Structure formats: structure tokens, C-alpha cells
Amino acid sequence: MKISKKAEYALRALVAMGREREGTNFSIQDLASKEHIPLKFLEQILLALKNGGLLRSKRGVGGGYQLVTHPARITLGEVVTLFDGPFDPVPGAEHDALGQVFGGLRDQVTQWFAENTIAHIISKEQPRGAVSFDI
């Protein structure tokens, strides 16, 4: 299984947005620069996230994109499925032995995606700019 670049960049953008305080507006240009995502690609990704109900947009001065949902409620599965569709390692083989075995894998991956959120990713990051004065 390989996650598409769109799904990866969507996750990166959501993590960047989730790090900031609730209600923060994010410009496409700032997100693209900060997260090293091509601007035109990011425009498509943010529009898809908006259409998927995860973001809202505000036009004009001070506008941009905002998270609609708290990062703890945005599952990785929700984001990956939005861009890549559901995980199905052997499509259409559900009725034979191979399909049943891989159906178990599909169920485990789907469960893992449902249990992990944007907040989980943020919690695993190293503190940014932390300075230690230990001697």
C-alpha cells in the first residue's frame, strides 16, 4: 500500500494547521512555503479538504482556510480515503479464500486508520524551538 502524494500533502497541511490555535486562518501561500508543498497542488488539496467538510474558507483580507474539526477528531483514514479511496488490497476477491485473507488485512488497516488522528501525529512531534540550558 502506498499513500498518494495528494494524501500525504493533505496530512502535512492538516498537521500544520492543527499545531496552531483554533480559529487560525491559513493562507495557501504560507502553508505551501512552510510545508514545502507545490502551491498549485496545495490549492487542489485544500479545495478537496473543504469539499470533504474538514476545512472552511474565508475570502478577502485576513482570509484563508480554517480547520472545521478539532485535530483529535480527524482520522487518518478519513483523509486518506478522501484522496485515495478505501483500502482494498485485492479488489473484487471477497468471496474466495484469497479475498477472505486479505479482507482481514483490509479490516486491520481500516481500524488503524480510524484509531489514529491528526492530533496523534502532532503529539509525536518533537517540540519546535525547544532550548535546553542543562549543563
Q: How far apart are CA 121 and CA 18, in angstroms?
A: 10
**Does 64 map to a domain?**
yes
**Does 12 map to a domain?**
yes
**Does 132 map to a domain?**
no
CA distances (Å), 26 to each of 5, 46, 102, in order? 21, 11, 40
Give the E-state strand segments of the chain in sequence order: 55-58, 64-67
CA trace torsion 113, 117, 123, 129 (10° rounding) = 110
**Does 131 map to a domain?**
no
**Does 129 map to a domain?**
no
- pLDDT value of residue 130: 57
Query: In the beta sheet, which residues pair with residue 57?
Result: 65
CATH number of the domain within which 19 lies:
1.10.10.10
Give the CA count within 13 Å in the CB-facing half-sphere of 115. Answer: 6
Q: How many domains does the chain have?
A: 1
**Does 134 map to a domain?**
no
Give per-residue burial for 35-44: e unless 16+ CB within 10 Å, then b: eebeeeebee
**Does 135 map to a domain?**
no
Query: Could you list the residue range(s) of the whole structural domain that residue 40 is in?
Result: 5-124
How does pLDDT run along the chain (135 residues), one tens digit per residue?
Answer: 789 999 999 999 999 999 999 889 999 999 999 999 999 999 999 999 999 999 999 887 778 999 999 999 999 999 999 999 998 888 876 778 888 888 889 999 999 999 999 999 999 987 655 555 566
